[in-house]
Amino acid sequence: MKLRVIEVAANLMVKNDALAAKLRERFAQSGTLVVNMLSSPGSGKTTLVEKTLTHLARAYSVAALVGDQATANDAERLARSGAPVRQITTGSECRLDASMIGKALTGWQPERLDVLFIENVGNLICPAEYDLGEDLRVVLLAVTEGEDKPLKYPLAFNTAHLALITKIDIADAVGYDRAGALRSIEAVHPGMPHLDISARTGAGMDAWFAHLEQRIKAKSLVGAR
Amino acid sequence: MHEVTVALSLLEGVETFARAQGIERVTRVNVRIGALSGIVRDALLFSWDVASAETLAAGSELSVEEIALTVYCERCESERAPVPGSGLLCPACGLPAPRIVSGREMHLVSLEVPE
């Protein structure tokens, strides 16, 4: 059998990127700030999002999508904030993609939202590859994790806009090496802003809320134009 | 970790291209996968065999070219391959070089088909 080779040159991410661009356009028109939260499992993401939704809901229209491989526990916890929450059960998928976001928004009126939080599946590898149409990609690093996490998962930290050092209230107890963690972040994303926070004690949360409110206002002005 | 999905989107790409070109059978699929893509080669090969069964690419060989991570160092004004585990540091001058040049690829490069 004679064989020949035919060039295709197709990027497999094109479909996701195109869907993400559509989402981004839709949220630009509505002036909705979209925040994609990335982290390892157990970094305190759900607690942080719950507290953040509760705080922002006082002044803004907020909602959340939460990706989870199996259970609805995280969605139930987030719903305690009073904000509308939708669960995306990903099954074997280790990340959310733009088509999942599009489907989860069906029948909703996200156009009325000031902020949409997307709590990604706990994983620092796969979610980093998938654009969800977000404005703000936030990566979490708990003080209980290794300070070298950014070096192990460079793409997640390289593509994020903001790093949150979480569980800062127990930093001393677990021997957190602050200088080492910041050095790791600088090695993959020099100059990326970072905040030390504790969702449990509230430490640093005001700075996080202020950062978000600044972004919400900037985005809503763009949408109103 | 998402090899099954990658195999399925790869199959979709192969089928779409083959249909448009009137190709009835594919014997080999050449792909390029970057080191940062989080794809495990063996898992992708296994997923491909399952995904492509009973399609025009059934029994085809998936040939994976793994692309190493390289970054552009502004100080050295050149492309460098960071030492694995060092993040995105330039191995020559030691400064962070956050501009990724290669390593994020997930490309369907070419198909081998019977004449």
What is this model's ipTM?
Answer: 0.88
Type and span of the H or E element at B29: strand B28-34
How does residue A93 score in pLDDT terms, banded at 50, 70 and 90?
confident
**HSE (CB half, 13 Å, CA atoms) of B103?**
24
Q: Which two tokens stand for residue A206?
A: 């005001």
Give the C-alpha separation, A75 to A87, whole Å: 6
pLDDT, position B1 = 62
How distant, in Å, are the alpha carbons of A37, A205, B3 from that of A201?
20, 9, 40
Coil, helix or strand at residue A77: helix
Distance (Å, whole) CA A122 – CA A149: 14
Give B17's contacts in chain A (Cβ within 8 Å).
8, 10
Cβ separation of A94 and B98 shorter than 8 Å? no
Q: For residue A162, give how far its alpha carbon lies from the nearest alpha carbon of chain B (Å).
A: 15
Q: Which two tokens stand for residue A113?
A: 């939202």
CATH code given to domain B3-68+102-112: 3.30.2320.50
Mean pLDDT score, B15-43:
95
pLDDT given at position A224? 55
Q: Which residues on neighbouring strands pair with residue A136, listed in sequence order? A: A35
In degrees, rounded to 5, the angle at the alpha carbon of residue B20 between the alpha carbons of residues B114 and B51 is 70
The residues, any chain, with a CB within 8 Å of residue B64's CB and separated by 6 or more, are: B31, B32, B33, B41, B44, B45
Amino acid letter at B85?
G
Mean pLDDT computed over A79-86: 89
A81 touches chain B (CB under 8 A): no
CA proximity to B11, closest of B66, B52, B63: B52
Give yes or no for a contact between B43 and A92, defined as CB atoms under 8 angstroms apart: no
Question: H-helix or E-strand containing A219?
Answer: helix A205-224
Give residue A223's pLDDT band: very low, low, confident or very high (50, 70, 90). Answer: low
Catalogue all structural domains in chain A, each as residue range(s) with its CATH number: 14-224 (3.40.50.300)
Nearest by CB to B108, from A3, A12, A129: name it: A12
Residue of A155, A161, A182, A184 for testing the chain B interface, max B β-carbons within 10 Å: A155
Helix (H, G, I), strand (E, B) or coil at B83: coil
* E strand spans, chain A: 3-11, 33-38, 62-68, 85-89, 115-119, 136-142, 162-166, 194-196
Over residues A11-29, mean pLDDT: 94
Percent above pLDDT 90 for chain A: 82
- The gap between the terminal CA atoms of chain B, to the nearest Å, is 36
Mean pLDDT (whole number) for A171-186: 97
Residue A110 has pLDDT above 80, yes or no: no
pTM: 0.92
pLDDT in tens, A190-218: 999 999 999 999 999 999 999 999 999 99
Q: If pLDDT is split at 50, 70 and 90, which confidence band does B90 have?
A: very high
Inter-chain residue contact A8 with B27, CB threshold 8 Å: no
Q: Is 70 exceeded by the pLDDT of residue B53?
A: yes
| A24: its two tokens | 């981004």
Angstrom distance (rounded) from CA A185 to CA A144: 16
pLDDT at position B111 is 97
Question: What's the mean pLDDT in A57-80?
Answer: 89
Hey, is the C-beta of B51 within 8 angstroms of any chain A C-beta?
Answer: no
Q: Residue B106: is its pLDDT beyond 80?
A: yes
The model's pLDDT over B71-84, given as tens digits with 9 standing for 90+, comes to 999 999 999 999 98
Residue A225: predicted pLDDT: 45
Nearest to A37, CA basis, from A219, A213, A174, A208: A208
Predicted confidence (pLDDT) at residue A124 exceeds the cutoff of 80: yes
Cβ neighbour number for residue A215 with a 10 Å cutoff: 17
